Amino acid sequence: MRIALRPYRWPDPDDERIWSPIYEQAGGWDREQTFLFGSHRDTVWEKAYMLVGMEDLMCYFHTEPEAVRELFHRIMDFQLGIARHYVACRVEMVGMIDDLGTQRGLLLSPDTITEFLVPEYRRLIAVHKERGVLASFHSCGHIAPILAVFMDLGVDILNPVQASANDLDEVRRRTQGRMALQGGVSSGLIAAGPVSAIRETAIDLMWRLGRDGGYFCAADQGMPWPKEHYRALEETVAEYGRYPLVPPDWTAHPANVERVQGP
């Protein structure tokens, strides 16, 4: 692989075709309504296996580790170039996206993630943290074994805390007060319904994961949902997702109970 890297022409983050849309979109943003968010999609790991092939890259960790480091470093050099444009636009939050989990475990060992990926993630997060930019990290799958890695990196929001792949209560226990969570509502439930179950689940999760703060109740994937199902989730969050929260077993008769004070 190292021989193949040498002649490869890497994209230039200062190419006008790449950076000009960033400034165009930022220029028309209403900062009073929402955060200006910059995405570092397919941050390192996913871009790497798209270039090399996942099976080959898995082998190269063992047969050509220095080539893998060079590949990751060059990819992150591009991301850092994009980060400079985001900073110039005064973004308020950035998103990093690398799916590191499967349904039952990690795609890579914690040691491999720590050795090869963490140094590159740290380079990018440092650029944004120096300017007070919030950092969100998206990883599907089972990510419990590396929660400490995300927190050590300074990730502010972890997304999407996939309901079918994680013990959500354990994730909340380990991250409370250190990292916010976003997601948690099963995509399968939103797709299948019924509406009553979607509402009950959202209310339950807002209490379980959010009663002490730090939780954005949302779907754990982005999919083309049945409109009435997704609307039920949005309406439930709008109705019940305010502090002080109501415990879920009290919601049948909310007028008859004292609301429990949250943070």
What pLDDT, on the 0 to 100 scale, is given for residue 253? 42
Report yes or no on 8 lying in a domain. no
Whether residue 194 is found in the same domain as residue 96: no
Whether residue 73 is found in the same domain as residue 129: yes
> Which of 92, 117, 143 finishes a domain?
143
Classify residue 252 as exposed, middle or buried by CB count within 10 Å of its CB (0-12, 13-18, 19+): exposed
What pLDDT, on the 0 to 100 scale, is given for residue 23? 95
Report yes or no on 175 lying in a domain. yes
What pLDDT, on the 0 to 100 scale, is given for residue 250? 53
Whether residue 71 is found in the same domain as residue 165: no
The identity of residue 69, as a single letter, is: R
Distance CA 60, CA 3 (A): 13
> What is the tally of structural domains in the chain?
2
Whether residue 178 is found in the same domain as residue 210: yes
Whether residue 135 is found in the same domain as residue 234: no
Whether residue 179 is found in the same domain as residue 243: yes
Long-range CB contact pairs, 191-195, < 8 A, 24+: 191/223, 191/225, 191/226, 191/229, 193/226, 193/229, 195/228, 195/229, 195/232
Report yes or no on 200 lying in a domain. yes
User: CA nearest 168: which of 198, 130, 110, 207?
Assistant: 207
Report yes or no on 166 lying in a domain. yes
Whether residue 123 is found in the same domain as residue 61: yes
Distance CA 155, CA 139 (A): 12
Report yes or no on 31 lying in a domain. no
- What's the domain range around 226? 160-263
> Which of 77, 109, 143 finishes a domain?
143
Classify residue 209 as exposed, middle or buried by CB count within 10 Å of its CB (0-12, 13-18, 19+): buried
Report yes or no on 138 lying in a domain. yes
Whether residue 164 is found in the same domain as residue 95: no
Report yes or no on 202 lying in a domain. yes
Whether residue 224 is found in the same domain as residue 262: yes
Distance CA 216, CA 225 (A): 19
> Which of 113, 143, 173 finishes a domain?
143
Distance CA 258, CA 48 (A): 53
Whether residue 58 is found in the same domain as residue 94: yes
pTM reported for the whole predicted model: 0.91
Report yes or no on 27 lying in a domain. no
Ranges of the chain with pLDDT below 50? 251, 253-263
